[in-house]
Copies of this chain bind each other. A is one copy, B any other.
Amino acid sequence: MKPGLSGSTVLVTGAYGFLGQGLVAALLDAGASVAAVGRDAGKARERLGERRGLRFIAGDVNEPLAYDGPADFVVHAASAAAPKRFGVDPVGVLSPNVFGTRNLLELARARKTRKFLFVSSAEVYGVVPESRQPILESEPGGVDPTALRSCYAESKRMGEALCAAWHRQHGVPAVIGRLFHTYGPGMDPDDGRVFADFTADAVAGRAITVKGDGLDRRAFCHRDDAVAGLLTLLERGVPGEAYNVANDEAECGVLELAERIQRLFPKRVPGVIKAPRPAGPAFAASPVRRSLPSTAKLRALGWAPRIGLDEGFRRTVESYL
């Protein structure tokens, strides 16, 4: 059997989340069948629609899945990434990355899955000094394991360590994709991240509120580019290796992001206003000022980002109008 996606079955967790929706659509387009895992099959059906080759598996990744169908590939994209949850539900945030990853690695091991993809995050790097940016995959990063944000950052690190261990010891061909700031249609407008907040302001027709000095910089990657990167890893990623999945050509400061959205929608957005950064555990502001990835490792597999800042922002905000 050839190693391509076409004709294979891909088990996808987090299938009706923001990233999962894009992944499932792209996998079906590539000719794969998809077993879409989610806690709520009704919500999955509502968000993903009925498509040929798509079936829904109701299940919680934190428990062993009741699924005995094929799993030629596994993509573990279930994750609780909304910062607003870090302070109130750290156990719920860390569980899919740790206990979920173990369950799925065991499933992949039992089914002799051809490639296991763990969707990780740039948060594994924590605070990286300017002198070590753009960030290479070998960067050890700096994360305080007991800090408030550790429920997310540290659990993604552990998910990666589990992949490395199951690969070394049991031969599970696990590949890691580290997503940087990813945005696009289907984002939860209430998830607490900057692009979602700004989009909500634009959709509501009010001035965009920038919290803090607005000088934090991120590389903004449109979901379609991120999904194309993840599919590249599923097909050609080297087991045991981690890859940055990001648009390194689309770095932008937070204040600049607000101003760009205002310029794109001058009639909807009357202005940009600055406000103090809120404090407290429910907010859990990232201490990262800049996070610029190197994407050379993923580009070497034949992938490149296609969607620039203005085009991506415009398409995303319009999808909510």
Interface residues of A (CB under 8 A from B): 87-91, 93-94, 98-99, 102, 124, 126-127, 138, 140-148, 150-151, 154-155, 157-158, 160-166, 168-170, 176, 240-242, 281
The reply to whether A157 and B160 form a contact with Cβ atoms under 8 Å apart is no
- Give the CA-CA distance A151 to B161 in the complex, in Å: 6
Hey, which chain B residues are within 8 Å of A160, CB to CB?
145-146, 150, 154
Nearest-neighbor residue (CB-CB) of A94 within chain B = B165
The 3 closest A-B pairs by CB, nearest first: A140-B142, A90-B165, A154-B161
- Give the CA-CA distance A281 to B126 in the complex, in Å: 27
The reply to whether A161 and B170 form a contact with Cβ atoms under 8 Å apart is no
**A240 CB → nearest B CB, Å:** 7
The reply to whether A151 and B165 form a contact with Cβ atoms under 8 Å apart is yes
The reply to whether B150 and A161 form a contact with Cβ atoms under 8 Å apart is yes
The reply to whether B168 and A90 form a contact with Cβ atoms under 8 Å apart is yes
Q: Which interface residue of A88, A93, A146 has the most chain B CB atoms within 10 A? A: A146
- With A146-B176, A146-B240, A146-B242 as known contacts, state yes or no: A94 contacts B161, CB within 8 Å: yes
Nearest-neighbor residue (CB-CB) of A97 within chain B = B158
The reply to whether A89 and B163 form a contact with Cβ atoms under 8 Å apart is no
- With A140-B144, A142-B141, A146-B240 as known contacts, state yes or no: A161 contacts B165, CB within 8 Å: no
The reply to whether B169 and A145 form a contact with Cβ atoms under 8 Å apart is no
Which of B94, B127, B148, B157 is close to A162, meaning CB atoms less than 8 Å apart? B94
Hey, which chain B residues are within 8 Å of A168, CB to CB?
87, 90, 148, 281
Which of B89, B140, B241 is close to A126, meaning CB atoms less than 8 Å apart? B140
Total copies of this chain within the assembly: 2
Nearest-neighbor residue (CB-CB) of A151 within chain B = B165
- Give the CA-CA distance A93 to B158 in the complex, in Å: 13
- Give the CA-CA distance A126 to B144 in the complex, in Å: 12
The reply to whether B91 and A165 form a contact with Cβ atoms under 8 Å apart is yes
Nearest-neighbor residue (CB-CB) of A154 within chain B = B161
- Give the CA-CA distance A35 to B185 in the complex, in Å: 55
- With A157-B154, A158-B158, A161-B154 as known contacts, state yes or no: A91 contacts B146, CB within 8 Å: no
Hey, which chain B residues are within 8 Å of A138, CB to CB?
144
**A123 CB → nearest B CB, Å:** 11
Which of B89, B99, B164, B169 is close to A150, meaning CB atoms less than 8 Å apart? B164
Hey, which chain B residues are within 8 Å of A93, CB to CB?
165
The reply to whether B145 and A127 form a contact with Cβ atoms under 8 Å apart is no
Known A-B contacts: A93-B165, A98-B158. Give 7 more (CB < 8 A): A94-B165, A140-B143, A146-B163, A147-B164, A151-B164, A154-B158, A158-B161
Hey, which chain B residues are within 8 Å of A157, CB to CB?
143, 145, 154, 157-158
- Give the CA-CA distance A132 to B275 in the complex, in Å: 34
- With A90-B168, A90-B169, A168-B90 as known contacts, state yes or no: A146 contacts B161, CB within 8 Å: yes
- Give the CA-CA distance A261 to B274 in the complex, in Å: 64
- Give the CA-CA distance A309 to B137 in the complex, in Å: 40
The reply to whether A166 and B126 form a contact with Cβ atoms under 8 Å apart is no
